[in-house]
Amino acid sequence: DGGITQSPKYLFRKEGQNVTLSCEQNLNHDAMYWYRQDPGQGLRLIYYSQIVNDFQKGDIAEGYSVSREKKESFPLTVTSAQKNPTAFYLCASSTGRISTDTQYFGPGTRLTVL
């Protein structure tokens, strides 16, 4: 089955620890995205990548880092510099073609920092 997977679904970490969230897709999509969702708020873009070995900051990149070494994978690291890391994190991918470029989302990871 083609799709986007994120693991784990729930993650707990102590304050001050870095944590890496996994995102994998087998849709052969070129573009991948990371969003953060807080209660009562819309999705906010953290980082995005339109092609392997290249990525760009989104609107709220501070305290986060990413890598895109493989087309299928776009892991997100939440560093200790992120002031309010507790949130629902969503990964998405799209073909990257200009004409349509619908983004499809993974199931999300709910991160709680204690």
Q: Which of 8, 51, 96, 112 binds other proteins (CB under 8 A)?
A: 96
x-or-dash string of contact with other proteins, 16-55, rule CB under 8 A: ---------------x-x-x----xxxxxx--x-x-----
- Residue span binding other proteins (CB under 8 A) among the ranges 20-28, 63-71, 77-85, 93-101: 93-101
For the segment 56-85, give every residue that binds other proteins (CB under 8 A): 56, 58
The DSSP line for the chain is: ---EEEE-SEEEE-TT--EEEEEEE-S--SEEEEEEE-TTS-EEEEEEEEETTEEEE-TT-TTEEE--SBTTB--EEE-TT-S---EEEEEEEE---SS----EE---EEEEE-
Q: Binding to other proteins by residue 101, rule CB under 8 A?
A: yes
Q: Binding to other proteins by residue 109, rule CB under 8 A?
A: no
